């Protein structure tokens, strides 16, 4: 078989990693697919820029058409980022009968169904393992490894930046802004960290995971999102006292025909496997009816881990080429999307409130909960420096989101509640 021609859109951190792996692992790749891989053209912004990989300058171009219309390019690898312009380039590549591998979760989360349709129509492959959790083979695990099982729940840490921040805040007692600045210095957080810290990056990944896990078209707008920027040292300290660890958790859960998908700060029991996932690492916990519980763990970002996932997709494309089955791996979602409403979403909740330190205050608060059938699992009551206020920290038993939000509204309106300080979802029982 002739060599496989590859064109790259982008030569940044991840693109450089791809080139390094293709150079350094050529023997292994040859053994896997039976033919050499040749990089034919690479789209860059600046041809003269210094790079930490040795590459023939004749392969570089600033004209995207020289890549996506190159007659010897069989596979286009997209690592340039962006959405609208990149979507056009990928659609053109597919129309030109080029297979596509991408690491672009923003693009896949928004335009995944359109790109899949174009790939199928043109008998091309479209792979995006690197779009979720970097070097962890979670998408391939869902699509191939767990293909025979029915997935009921996906729960995980899918953003390394927020996990790094929460780890440092929890272990060192450092304030949020200080740790965020450290994350930016180390390159874990962007200059504008909004997408990471407000949960948008994780939400895009959860939309992709839920779509594949439940075989249902889940859009980004279907994901309920809350970030970490309002988490305080007090929240983390109380979580520890109650036997929990705080993480930004993506949850996708199916019961019957209906699903819920969210990203939010969540209290996990200290002995839960995800509680031990620290710093920039990612992990996804998968619940299947047959397999039970499995966990995928590893580096969620970085040049070589992400590039490893991209080249693994490239190998899959080339194996399909040898078998003559390109474009046949796309399986359209089997089920129509049905989302739970708030009365159907159940969990425990952590709540921290400041109340007037007077006789009858706690009784009034208890009444607000009991009228909606919600009881307490754990309670801490502590005096505050202000002599007229006390702090109540509690974890509820399982309640519907509708009832709990109704309770929050009534607490805010209560004449004995000075302030609802914080509220978070709780999974499982805290370690005693």
- Sequence spans of domains, the chain: 4-134+303-323, 138-299, 342-426
User: What distance in Å separates the CA atoms of residue 143 and residue 330, rounded to the nearest whole number?
Assistant: 10
Report the CATH superfamily, name and number, of domain 4-134+303-323: NAD(P)-binding Rossmann-like Domain (3.40.50.720)
Cα-based torsion angle of the residue sequence 247, 249, 254, 259 in order, rounded to the nearest 10 degrees: 130
Per-residue pLDDT, 53:
85
Q: Please give the radius of gyration of the chain, using alpha carbons only, rounded to the nearest integer.
A: 24
Architecture of the domain made up of 342-426: 2-Layer Sandwich (3.30)
Catalytic member of 41, 205, 226, 340 = 205
Known catalytic residue at 205: yes
Which of these, 396, 342, 401, lies nearest to 369 by C-alpha position? 396
Which of these, 240, 198, 234, 200, lies nearest to 220 by C-alpha position? 200
Tens of pLDDT, residue by residue over 311-352, are 999 999 988 888 888 877 766 778 899 999 999 999 999 999
Mean per-residue pLDDT for 170-196?
89
Label residues 197-230 b or e (16+ Cβ within 10 Å = b): bbbbbbbbbbbbbbbbbbbbbbebebbbbbbbbe
Tens of pLDDT, residue by residue over 5-63, are 999 999 988 899 999 999 998 888 888 888 889 999 999 998 988 888 888 889 999 99
- What string of H, E and C letters represents the secondary structure of 220-268? HHHCEECCCCCCCHHHHHHHHHCCEEEEEEEEEEEECCEEEEEEEEEEE
Task: Identify the CATH assignment for 138-299 out of 3.40.190.10, 3.40.50.720, 3.30.360.10, 3.30.2180.10.
Answer: 3.30.360.10
Within 8 A by CB and 6+ apart from 193, the residues are 161, 180, 183, 184
Per-residue pLDDT, 423:
97
Q: Is there a common fold for 4-134+303-323 and 342-426? A: no
Tens of pLDDT, residue by residue over 128-150, are 988 888 778 898 888 888 888 99
User: What distance in Å separates the CA atoms of residue 397 and residue 12, rounded to the nearest whole number?
Assistant: 48
Tens of pLDDT, residue by residue over 283-314, are 999 999 999 999 999 887 777 888 899 999 99
* Band of pLDDT at residue 382, cut at 50, 70 and 90: confident
Per-residue pLDDT, 323:
81
The secondary structure of 269-289 as a DSSP string is: ETTSGGGG--TTEEEEEEEET
């Amino acid at each position: 078989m002739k060599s496989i021609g590859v064109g790259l859109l982008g030569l940044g951190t991840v693109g450089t990693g791809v080139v390094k792996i293709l150079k350094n692992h050529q023997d292994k790749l040859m053994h896997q697919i039976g033919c050499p891989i040749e990089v034919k053209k690479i789209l860059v912004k600046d041809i003269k820029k210094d790079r930490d990989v040795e590459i023939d300058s004749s392969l570089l171009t600033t004209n995207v058409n020289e890549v996506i219309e190159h007659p010897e390019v069989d596979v286009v690898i997209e690592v340039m980022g962006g959405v609208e312009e990149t979507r056009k380039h990928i659609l053109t590549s597919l129309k030109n009968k080029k297979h596509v591998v991408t690491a672009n979760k923003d693009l896949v989360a928004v335009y995944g169904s359109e790109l899949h349709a174009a790939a199928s129509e043109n008998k091309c492959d479209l792979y995006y393992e690197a779009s979720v959790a970097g070097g962890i083979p979670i998408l391939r695990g869902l699509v191939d490894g767990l293909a025979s099982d029915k997935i009921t729940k996906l729960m995980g840490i899918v953003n390394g930046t927020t996990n790094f921040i929460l780890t440092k805040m929890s272990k060192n007692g450092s304030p949020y802004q200080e740790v965020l600045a450290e994350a930016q210095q180390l390159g874990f957080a962007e200059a504008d960290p909004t997408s990471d810290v407000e949960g948008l990056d994780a939400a895009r990944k959860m939309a992709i995971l839920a779509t594949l896990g439940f075989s249902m078209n889940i859009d980004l707008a279907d994901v309920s999102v809350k970030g970490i920027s309002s988490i305080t040292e007090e929240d983390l300290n109380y979580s520890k006292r109650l036997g929990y660890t705080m993480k930004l958790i993506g949850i996708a859960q199916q019961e019957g025909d209906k699903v819920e998908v969210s990203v939010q700060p969540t209290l996990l029991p200290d002995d839960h496997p995800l509680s031990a996932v620290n710093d920039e690492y990612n992990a996804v916990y998968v619940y299947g009816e047959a397999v039970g519980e499995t966990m995928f763990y590893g580096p969620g970002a970085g040049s070589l881990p992400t590039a490893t996932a991209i080249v693994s997709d490239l190998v899959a494309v080339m194996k399909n080429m040898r078998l003559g089955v390109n474009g046949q791996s796309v399986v359209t979602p089997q089920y129509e999307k049905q989302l739970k409403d708030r009365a159907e979403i159940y969990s425990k909740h952590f709540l921290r409130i400041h109340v007037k330190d007077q006789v009858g205050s706690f009784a009034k608060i208890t009444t607000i909960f009991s009228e909606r059938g919600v009881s307490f699992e754990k309670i801490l009551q502590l005096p505050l420096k202000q002599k007229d206020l006390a702090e109540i920290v509690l974890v509820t038993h399982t309640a519907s989101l509708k009832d709990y939000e109704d309770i929050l509204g009534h607490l805010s309106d209560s004449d004995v509640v000075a302030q609802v300080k914080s509220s978070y979802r709780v999974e499982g029982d805290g370690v005693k």
